[in-house]
Structure 1
Amino acid sequence: MDNSMNDKKSYLMIISGLLAAGLTVGAQAQDGFSEALSKAVSEGSAKVDFRYRFENVDDDAFAKDANASTLRSRLTFQSGTVGGFNGLLEFDNVTYVGSDDFNSTENGKVDRPVVADPKGTEVNQAWVKYGTESLSGIYGRQRILHGSQRFVGGVAWRQNEQTYDGLRAQWGEASNLHLDYAYVYNINRVFGPDDSAAQPANWKGNNHLARLDWKLGDNHTLSGFIYALEIDERGAWSPNKSVNNSTDTYGVDYSGNLGPVAVKAAYATQSDAGDSVLDYDADYYMLEGAMSSAGISGKLGYEVLGADNGVGFKTPLATAHKFQGWADKFLTAPGDGIEDLYLGVTGNLGPVKLGAFYHDFSAEDSSEDFGTEWDLVGTWPISKQFSTQLKYANFSSDSDRYSDAQKVWVTLQLKL
């Protein structure tokens, strides 16, 4: 039996034991353990989620297209709350529907573009939580989403979600101050559940994720964050795929309304940390304004990931697909940094939600033109259970560093 299977069984045993212990403590306020267990089950829930996606990638750097037809099946069990305790167990399976004419990062088809949806089955979440009105603590494998997910997110766009193993505490849910701190010792990446020659499925290490949100009235929130990542070296891969993602990042962001304009702004500074072999200090900043009228919303923004000593500002835990174009040409900032001037328009056509976005990319320290991108999306929530989406990205560049690419996605999702 391989190590990943042993890890999964051990992890399930630990979580099961913790959940049983939590229910036992909670049962002290009840008539007995059996009554507490009955309440945990009767007030719990079971959900099923199927997401099918067809993804086509036509990239000029490859002679062949990628055609990925994948299905993610998710089964989620959540208990009711007993004595302040509750728990959750969630399983994901990703499988191919038809042929795998794409580079999943583990199937060896390197003559085609990457679609990072490797097949496999794993425990996506498994946690125990204790909470009061103002304080909560959660231990286990869990989803952690901070703010817009620019620095810490779940990458839920990919079929295998990114989740975190560790301990998380949150304070001040009902107040104007909200503190969120997590110690993470393992990051379950989208490339899992198993290691491949291209990417490690997990990053182990000592990682601290802290964020403080301060509501300055109804329409203004100021946040500060510290992300101290110390990722262990994985000898089978280059340092840039493991230890060089060790970073110390400090920053602030703001969101609020200034008259009719919804404003977002952020600044962060970053340096190498842990056993990283890099040596750099880089800055990040962004400013965005948005307005809505007659059901149409528009936004204009400018985002910069700086660079130093040939190293671009890193966001290794971000939901990067949300930012700098859906063609995913800039999931990692280039060594000379990147500037993204973007605008977007969204609205509804009957029941269908539509969006169009434009990006103009250039280098941060040389102003070299990287290219432009158009992104289009239409989402039709047919019912509460079933939705469809058609999405398109077109990246064009005159630079020798980046190839032209087009991507098309068709997604069907059923939630029961």
Structure 2
Amino acid sequence: MRTIFYTAAALAAAGPACAQDIAVKPLIEARSRYEHVDQDGLDPSADAWTLRVRAGAELSQGPWAALGEAQGNLALVGDYHDGLHGAATRPLVADPQDVAIYRAQLQYRTKPLTVTAGRQRIALDDERFVGNVAFRNNAQTFDAVRAELAPLKGVKLDLTYAWDVRTIWGTDGRGARQRGVGGDNVFANLSAATPIGTLTGFAYLVDQDEAEVQGYRLASQTYGARLAGSRALGPKVKLGYQLSWATQSDYHRNPNRYTADYWLVDATLDVRGWKLNTGYEVLGADKGAALTSFQTPLGTNFKFQGWADKFLTTPANGVRDLYAGSGYGWKKLGRVDALTLQATWHRFESDRLGQHYGDEIDLLATVKVKKTLLSARYAWYDADRLATDTRKFWLQLDWTY
């Protein structure tokens, strides 16, 4: 990481003739969020009011750029279990207080090739398998070298070698919730534009070299394909669709021996401001033993299978998620740039044994005014055969420079 900052300093001190060619882009953003969790079996409930600030800068000259960004997360109201401190007598809110380097990277970018080295954000496709976990305040980054190559129009090759995953638990992370998980991770992604959408083939080798993190049992190799596209059906009517399949098995030090499959079918109809969405996602099971089902330890899992976070780790018998939702959006209502309302219903079942886990309803309202985004979010998980009834509410304000 020091090399990155030394390079940035060298660019800044390169002399008067060179200085005028250096572009400086400030990076500033802030988030204030209140999160309330009421979970059966845990009393009292959790209340978290956090303030997250990120600040840094990107210095660029020609194809080269050096970026440094720090972040701090402060609990203004800390009546919650953050996963690291205190007894787990309250529900979990995974936003521990933290001050750390968020990103520190050196980048070379041209039209056909971009190479990024250092601590960086990586979000591949829909982030199901590799993502940034942006909803959590500390987010997830990677110490990695990434190359993005576009040799032909519509074709992209994306290759990453990551030796450390910087987790949402921050600098105090320990035990099963480490601040960083080392390993030789490889992410390969090849996509091509076709008349029916973008077709992507991928291979994700997840290496977890920390014995305290599930005894290496999250190390896996995943291979699959994804098709994502859209088609106009008429004036102001558009159909979007996603199809995805993958197979996963044990990798490297994983003591388990298993094979499990993944399926996704998703469709969204956009009609004059209305969005109607339905889909079916399956994270398959093998023999029904713990951590022999399809796992996504590096994905942005909050985006999938409900916001109550009951399936961040896939149950031993897998999970099938049937969901349907609708939403409506307005643009330019007085001083409001955008207003959206959204509701989604989920029915969760196991992949084997036919168990009904529970149902969930998720609601979201957002208001955007210039650089400020205000959102209110609600999740209600009605348990049957897995976990307990849980209700969550968030009120969040995001501002970006």
Task: Report the TM range for the smaller structure's normalisation.
Answer: over 0.9
Aligned equivalent of 2:31: 51
SS of residue matched to 2:302: helix
Larger helix share, 1 or 2: 1
Which 5+ residue runs of structure 2 have no aligned equivalent?
234-238
Aligned equivalent of 1:137: 115
Aligned equivalent of 2:193: 215
* Residue identity opposite 2:210 in structure 1: E
Matched, 1:252 2:237: no
Residue number among 386, 390, 393 corresponding to 1:405 in the alignment: 390
Matched, 1:233 2:210: yes
Matched, 1:199 2:177: yes
**Residues of 1 paired with 2:176 and 2:147: CA distance?**
34
Aligned equivalent of 1:15: 4
**Residues of 2 paired with 1:283 and 1:326: CA distance?**
23
RMSD after superposition: 1.8
- Note the 1:173-322 alignment, pairs <5 A: 175-197=153-175, 199-217=177-195, 220-234=197-211, 237=212, 239-240=213-214, 243-257=216-230, 260=233, 261-309=239-287, 310=289, 311-322=292-303
**Residues of 2 paired with 1:37 and 1:152: CA distance?**
38
TM-score normalised by L of structure 1:
0.89
**Residues of 2 paired with 1:243 and 1:15: CA distance?**
31
**Residues of 2 paired with 1:33 and 1:138: CA distance?**
26
Task: Give 1:161 shift.
Answer: 1.1
SS of residue matched to 1:109: coil
Counterparts in 2 of 1:47 and 1:159: CA distance versus 1, 3 Å: same
**Residues of 1 paired with 2:20 and 2:208: CA distance?**
42
Matched, 1:323 2:304: yes
Cα deviation per residue 1:343-363 (whole Å; 9 max; x = unaligned)?
111112554211000000000
**Count of paired positions:** 387
- Note the 1:348-387 alignment, pairs <5 A: 348=329, 350=333, 351-381=338-368, 383-387=369-373
Aligned equivalent of 1:415: 400
Larger strand share, 1 or 2: 2
* Residue identity opposite 2:123 in structure 1: L
Residue number among 359, 372, 378 corresponding to 1:392 in the alignment: 378
Matched, 1:333 2:321: no
Check conservation: 1:256, 1:262, Cα contact below 8 A: yes
**Residues of 1 paired with 2:295 and 2:343: CA distance?**
27
SS of residue matched to 1:44: strand
SS of residue matched to 1:39: coil
**Residues of 2 paired with 1:226 and 1:266: CA distance?**
13
TM-score normalised by L of structure 2:
0.92
Cα deviation per residue 1:102-158 (whole Å; 9 max; x = unaligned)?
110122231011100010111110101112220111110000010000000000000
Task: Give 1:37 shift.
Answer: 3.8
Task: Give 1:243 shift.
Answer: 1.7
**Residues of 2 paired with 1:244 and 1:103: CA distance?**
25
Task: Give 1:81 shift.
Answer: 2.5
* Residue identity opposite 1:334 in structure 2: P
Check conservation: 1:167, 1:184, Cα contact below 8 A: yes
Task: Give 1:198 shift.
Answer: 5.2
SS of residue matched to 1:365: coil
SS of residue matched to 1:193: helix
**Residues of 1 paired with 2:88 and 2:26: CA distance?**
39
Aligned equivalent of 1:39: 21
Which 5+ residue runs of structure 1 have no aligned equivalent?
1-10
